[in-house]
Structure 1
Amino acid sequence: MHKQPGILFDRRYYEHGIPQLSLENSGRVRNLYSTLEGPEYTRQLRTYRPREASAADIESVHSSFYLEQLREHVNLNDPYSYDRDTYLMEQSLYTAALAAGGCLNLADRIMGGEIDYGFALVRPPGHHAEPGRGMGFCLFNNVAITAEYLRRVHGLQRILILDFDVHHGNGTQAVFYETAQVFFISIHQDKLFPFTGQAHETGSGKGQGYTINLPVHSQFGDAEYTFLLGKVLNGVVEQYLPQIILVSAGFDGHCEDSISRVLLTTHWYATITELLKHLAHEACDDRLLFVLEGGYNPVSLEASVLATVESMLHPVGRRPGVAYSERAARILTNHPLHGFWTV
């Protein structure tokens, strides 16, 4: 039986803000939140509010030294004293703890069988935050904290994280680079901040082969992305058999988002959601959790998130087809993991 998807958002996420102009601001999500509060969605979705992540939750990923650094910089007069992109205001750490805790709340609901699919519409984003360093608008790594929580509290041993934000998820990769219990896949524009995530970065030690980076050319769009992720995800899920799929869902690869030169359309986000639903149905009892990362054009962000949500509302249908793309195929042919995981 198809269950109502769960969605999580909270106006307290507005409290992390700065008077000066920053791409990562509460205006990104204000209209989206208002739309989701309307009757069209409230009758179809289970709506949740976050709890604050505990110190133990956060320190499962981030060092105590890093957290102390953040507290010290919050008390300085310069909001950019820690990092030139990542501002810190009085409410920033509380809001970031709510962002991580919101993801944990939805993870619990999924593991308890209350919902199949969840979408945590949180901010600030998290995937650039490394164990000892915040950057790129990110303070706490929400998806990494969620994966560690699922390992520690729910005993999962095979977690798949897909990051389709247009920027490489360097922080998430750093956390799980040496383990096979979390498989990390990132597709991102090449030669773009944070300038990591090359194809040769495939994990180390016990994690060797459990990181797949797909750096793509600017001007890649729906066809190339669908081919690459269709081929890689189908192979990985069939062989790895994840117990849950987590998605670092950044929408800054949209053709109307000026931060990148990737040309994804709103429809693509519905397409990838359909594929992920099908794979989650086959491998892990429909357990699928999206976590908001980037997306800095409020109009295209709202449209893309709503396309994702609309796809979540429909029962699992046929697996989407994957049309051949010669440009994208070259990336797989030349990949260091070609021959593994069917890449």
Structure 2
Amino acid sequence: MRFGYSETCLDHDTGARHPENPDRLRAIREGLKRKHGVEYVEADPASREAVGAVHEEEYVEEVSSFCESGGGNWDPDTVASGNTWAAALAAAGQAQWAGERALAGEDGRKTPFALGRPPGHHAVADDAMGFCFVNNVAVAAQSALDDDDADADRIAVFDWDVHHGNGTQDIFYERGDVFYASIHEDGLYPGTGDAAETGIGDGAGTTLNASLGAGAADADYLAVVEDAVGPAIERFDPDLLLVSAGFDAHRHDPISRMRVSTEGYALMTDRMRGLADRTGAGLAFVLEGGYGLDTLAEGVATVHETFDGRPPIEPDEGPKEGTEAVVDDLRDRLDL
């Protein structure tokens, strides 16, 4: 794979005990050292105009000034330093690069993966939250739609982070040109992402939320992907498929109760690759969460290995009854 990466993202200083810290990127880089075919690209940072296309100008001014004046606690969980705004623009720029390269036809072993931090999927149009300041995947999606040369009219985002990407959903909730699908742990921060949230107005039917109970494992995630997310995105027929790739649903991640294995991420990667092939969509990955350093590094590495030719191993067990009920409900709601 080709990985978007910038040392600037290491300068976002959240403090020694914060789970979202520079060691996350260092661990990923260390884990990829032993892999073949890894290439790093430093993309240009996102422009203020690109960020302003998905965030309100008043918020952009407020948060950039907050960071440039030294930062501090934006809220109890979301911490900024003097270098955070530059890191956020770098992360958003990497997401833009990933979307651009996918639309340009880079796939297979050249499939792009943006390794930026701070993450983005909780950032709403007018606020930072959940460790996120700029919604990276939203910037990438909107930039693709605004680029006349890209010829992209419809974008799909699949979010497999254990937390619901409330910011991405909110930004596109009333629009019909972006489809947002999420699998997340029921009851976990930020408490959004109910199955009844399917979009309104022009966006009616373009949001899919699979809220799974604690303990959901590989077969549960695959059931949702194969029987709900995949068919919904295939019907939407996007030009670009962006994966908000958080690795905190891993069974050994310290802040969730899900049971996804490292192999589970390989399986979801394989299904997204197949979905992109069937729809003719460009495919790109954008890093979100993942707070166990070893499991985060393993997760990113297994995505790379899947594109490098290693076939994933299918699970031995099927999904839980509760998951089957979730899938049936989603199919009814979206008329799949």
User: Shorter-chain TM-score: what band?
Assistant: over 0.9
1:120 paired with 2:114, answer: yes
Taking the aligned partners of 2:7 and 2:34, their CA distance within structure 1 comes to: 18
Structure 2 residues not aligned, in runs of 5+: none
1:176 paired with 2:172, answer: yes
Q: Tell me which of 279, 282, 304 is aligned to 2:299.
A: 304
Q: Tell me which of 165, 188, 195 is aligned to 1:192.
A: 188
Deviation at 1:320, TM superposition (A): 10
Residues 274-300 of structure 1 show CA distances to partners (whole Å, capped at 9, x for unaligned) of 111111111125x11110000001011
Residues 28-83 of structure 1 show CA distances to partners (whole Å, capped at 9, x for unaligned) of 121221343x3743xx1342112110111100101111012113322556611x21
Q: Tell me which of 268, 273, 290 is aligned to 2:285.
A: 290
1:18 paired residue number: 14
1:72 paired with 2:65, answer: yes
Q: Tell me which of 214, 217, 228 is aligned to 2:213.
A: 217
Residues 261-315 of structure 1 show CA distances to partners (whole Å, capped at 9, x for unaligned) of 1111111000000111111111125x11110000001011111111111012229
1:159 paired residue number: 155
Q: How many residues align?
A: 332
Structure 2 CA distance for partners of 1:19 and 1:320, relative to 1, 3 Å: closer
Give aligned-pair identity as a percent. Answer: 33
Structure 2 CA distance for partners of 1:122 and 1:297, relative to 1, 3 Å: same
Structure 2 CA distance for partners of 1:71 and 1:7, relative to 1, 3 Å: closer
Taking the aligned partners of 2:35 and 2:222, their CA distance within structure 1 comes to: 29
Residues 140-168 of structure 1 show CA distances to partners (whole Å, capped at 9, x for unaligned) of 00000000011001242221100010000
Which segment is superposed worse, 57-66 or 68-77?
Answer: 68-77
Deviation at 1:193, TM superposition (A): 0.5
Structure 1 residues not aligned, in runs of 5+: none
Which segment is superposed worse, 101-110 or 245-254?
Answer: 101-110
TM-score normalised by the chain length of structure 2: 0.92
SS of match in other structure, 1:290 = strand
Taking the aligned partners of 1:138 and 1:102, their CA distance within structure 2 comes to: 15
Residues 231-262 of structure 1 show CA distances to partners (whole Å, capped at 9, x for unaligned) of 11331233221111101001001110121111
For 1:238-277, what aligned pairs fall within 5 Å after superposition? 238-277=234-273
Taking the aligned partners of 1:318 and 1:268, their CA distance within structure 2 comes to: 9
1:53 paired residue number: 46
Q: Structure 2: which amino acid aligns with 1:27?
A: D
1:97 paired residue number: 89
Structure 2 CA distance for partners of 1:259 and 1:50, relative to 1, 3 Å: same
Residues 156-181 of structure 1 show CA distances to partners (whole Å, capped at 9, x for unaligned) of 22211000100000000001001111
Taking the aligned partners of 1:15 and 1:218, their CA distance within structure 2 comes to: 34
Q: Structure 2: which amino acid aligns with 1:257?
A: D
